[in-house]
Copies of this chain bind each other. A is one copy, B any other.
Amino acid sequence: MSNPSLLILPGDGIGPEVMAEVRKIIDWFGDKRGVSFDVSEDLVGGCAYDKHGTPLHDDTMARAQEVDAVLLGAVGGPKYDKLDFSVKPERGLLRLRKEMDLYANLRPAQCFDALADFSSLKKDVVAGLDIMIIRELTSGVYFGEPRGIIKEGNERVGINTQRYTESEIARVARSAFEMARKRSNKVCSMEKANVMESGILWRDVVQEIHDAEYPDVELSHMYADAGAMQLTRWPKQFDVIVTDNLFGDLLSDLAAMLTGSLGMLPSASLGAPMANGRPKALYEPVHGSAPDIAGQGKANPIACILSFAMALRYSFDMGDEAARVETAVEKVLADGLRTADLLGEEGKSPVSTSEMGDAIVAAL
């Protein structure tokens, strides 16, 4: 059997730096555990635009469709702010999500014991926090048509369309219920059914899938604005949250920030199973490209390393190996190692991106 294949897309800003550390982990698995990957690398985002005039070349797209998993760093930067919407770095990422049909975006918001003090929230509110947000990723207002800026009389009008089909809602609801069964068996679905018809359909379909297929899972519904409040007030009330693309964008970032350690949080975006049984999959850290600190060795590689751990778990069925990486990360944190983003004003001295990567390899 051939090695599992992995396409690495470091992207822009700190993407290449954090990905270099993931490479060390991948190499360690090849050397020490006999687990080798066929790794190829390509461009996405601003760097792809610089080379090809498009944030995602068709060849890269085709390659992403073929591999077992894609690992992405981050895209974007001020250099590309003035580009036309159609070739912005983000379009590369959105094209990957859409064409690979990665409908279930798994965003764990976990508070690491060693970092609980670092949150802006009180320690008792966030210590031990462990939420999984499942965000729909291929539909909604991100992709709905019609869209654009049109002229009406002598006014410009900006238009986007929120659009969800029954089956789009059903499949991501199933992802959430399956996930809940492996966790605390509790799903909270969030929408604005009091204001939006698409939210009514969302609520109805989630409830129907629940009643027909997952009656054993505890299901509740909450308006997304109340959800934002409750996440802030007492996040531990939640286990799995399922919500649409746009609400998921805000709520998962909010949940991430509760933990106080954005540089720590990975994500997985999963689609339907391929012929080999593995889901189409893309893994990426939750943090952005952080152009302000790019190239300075200040970036925290942990979120990207933990994204690779998610790949081990969800694409390669190597839950034990994933746990090995996660334990190594916990160990270096417990040992007191901190990149700059994990230090308060206390004036301790931070370790560099590569020192953090090396320490995690050593802890493996």
Contacts and interface: CB of A to CB of B under 8 A. Distances in A.
Interface residues of A, number: 59
Interface string A212-256: 000000000000111011001110000000000011011101101
Interface stretch (A149-157, A312-320, A322-330): A149-157
A212 to B, nearest CB: 15
Nearest to A147: B197
B192 A249 contact: yes
A277 interface: no
Interface stretch (A198-206, A268-276, A294-302, A356-364): A198-206
Contact of A120 (B90, B125, B157, B164): B125
Interface string A73-105: 000100000000100101000100000000000
Contacts of A257: 228-229, 232-233
Given A156-B165, A163-B159, A194 B258 contact: no
B196 A160 contact: yes
Contact of A160 (B88, B122, B162): B162
A85 B155 contact: no
A164 B247 CA distance: 19
A141 B158 contact: no
A225 B94 CA distance: 16
A111 to B, nearest CB: 13
Contact of A85 (B142, B152, B197, B246): B197
A209 interface: no
A224 B228 CA distance: 13
A195 interface: yes
A161 interface: yes
Contact of A225 (B144, B148, B198, B253): B253
Contact of A197 (B158, B229, B256): B158
A20 interface: no
A351 interface: no
Interface of A: 76, 85, 88, 90, 94, 120-122, 125, 141-142, 144, 147-149, 152, 155-167, 192, 194-202, 205, 224-226, 228-229, 232-234, 246-247, 249-251, 253-254, 256-258, 262
